[in-house]
Amino acid sequence: MWVTVFNITITAAEIAGGIISGSLALLSDALHNLSDVVSIVVAFAANLVAKRSKDQHKTFGYKRAETLAAYTNGLFLLAISIYLFISAIKRFSKPEPIEGGVMFIVSLIGLAGNLISMLILGRGSKENLNARALFLNMMSDTLSSVAVVVGSLLIYYQNWTLVDPVLTMAAAIFLLKEAFEVTRDSANVLMEANPDLDLEAIEEAGLAFKEVRQLHHLHVWRYSDDTIMLDAHIVVDSDLTAKRIEELDEEIAACLKEKFAINHVTLQAECSRGLDEDLLSTNKEN
């Protein structure tokens, strides 16, 4: 709530200040903050949806709502950064006079609001991809505000108006990089990509149990920020009882959780089927 209030205030102040002073850098900062307001509202709604219980339509639950929000925010930021970059290039060919004093006062307001917002969101950015997307928004805006403050002083005292589009381009490039990373990471989750785990090490951990003769049809993916899932077929001795197979499943799951932080394991026990297949079963159609 407080971050939203700060960003609405900053956005209004910087839009007014950018129009009055003629500063594209201030307007770019305002667009950053406007995108943050949208991102925060979307992230908050996604967080509420993610807390809903499983049902007949969503048997895995709604945790991926946050990943979808992060992906949407990333695409939005990519569009904003490209727009700012193009606008800055146009300003080089057609420079405009800028009121450095107005730009300086408004940029200080933006810097204070962005810094406070960044500190508020920083606490949860390491555990949650959606929070990370918002934190990166705040961090990029804070750095942009610092640059705008410095630029306003150069414009006021030295009349270096070209510093305005330069700052805008720098902010756009930084935002483009961060937006790409958030979009890529969230897309990997949605595409059920391997979360950088060593599949051969996982296979070795499974084969360390004497009853396990082979693993195949292995799938490992990140379902959400706090859930990594694994699904695999294991070939075991034919004389194992159902009770021992159940115990073996629990032992393998505990091992995988300890070594690889995989916290949702599903294993299918077989006696001979799949012995001629490799770990990913790439030698025949799945």
Which pLDDT score is estimated for 285? Answer: 47
Which pLDDT score is estimated for 124? Answer: 62
Fold category of 1-191 in CATH: Alpha-lytic protease prodomain-like (1.20.1510)
What mean pLDDT is predicted for residues 101-130? Answer: 78
286 vs 283: CA distance, rounded Å: 9
pLDDT classification of 283: cutoffs 50, 70, 90: low
Which pLDDT score is estimated for 69? Answer: 84
DSSP 54: P
* pLDDT for 180 beyond 80: yes
Fold category of 199-270 in CATH: Alpha-Beta Plaits (3.30.70)
* pLDDT for 86 beyond 60: yes
- The residue with greater pLDDT, 215 or 282, is 215
Least confident among 44-53, 134-143, 175-184:
134-143
Q: Do domains 1-191 and 199-270 have the same CATH topology?
A: no
* pLDDT for 37 beyond 50: yes
* pLDDT for 110 beyond 80: yes
Q: Taking the mean position of all CA atoms in its chain, how far away is CA 237? A: 44
Residues 6+ apart with CB under 8 A from 141: 29, 32, 33, 36, 110, 114, 117, 118
8 vs 37: CA distance, rounded Å: 7
* pLDDT for 276 beyond 90: no
- The residue with greater pLDDT, 9 or 212, is 212
* pLDDT for 266 beyond 80: yes
Give the residue extent of every domain in the chain. Answer: 1-191, 199-270
Give percent of the chain above pLDDT 90: 24
* pLDDT for 29 beyond 90: no
What mean pLDDT is predicted for residues 125-153? Answer: 75
Q: Taking the mean position of all CA atoms in its chain, how far away is CA 127? A: 11
* pLDDT for 249 beyond 90: yes
What mean pLDDT is predicted for residues 242-247? Answer: 94
Give percent of the chain above pLDDT 70: 94
253 vs 236: CA distance, rounded Å: 16
Q: What is the pTM of this model?
A: 0.69
Helices (DSSP H) in the chain: which residue ranges?
2-21, 24-50, 64-93, 100-121, 129-158, 163-190, 199-207, 242-260
| CA atoms in the 13 A half-sphere facing the CB of 238 | 3
Which pLDDT score is estimated for 126? Answer: 64
* pLDDT for 247 beyond 60: yes
Least confident among 20-24, 129-133, 203-207, 208-212:
129-133
Which pLDDT score is estimated for 39? Answer: 72
* pLDDT for 286 beyond 50: no
Which pLDDT score is estimated for 282? Answer: 54
What mean pLDDT is predicted for residues 204-219? Answer: 93
Mean pLDDT of all residues belonging to the chain: 84
Would you say 161 and 155 are in contact if contact means Cβ atoms under 8 Å apart?
yes
Tokens matching residue 56: 């007949």
What mean pLDDT is predicted for residues 247-263? Answer: 95
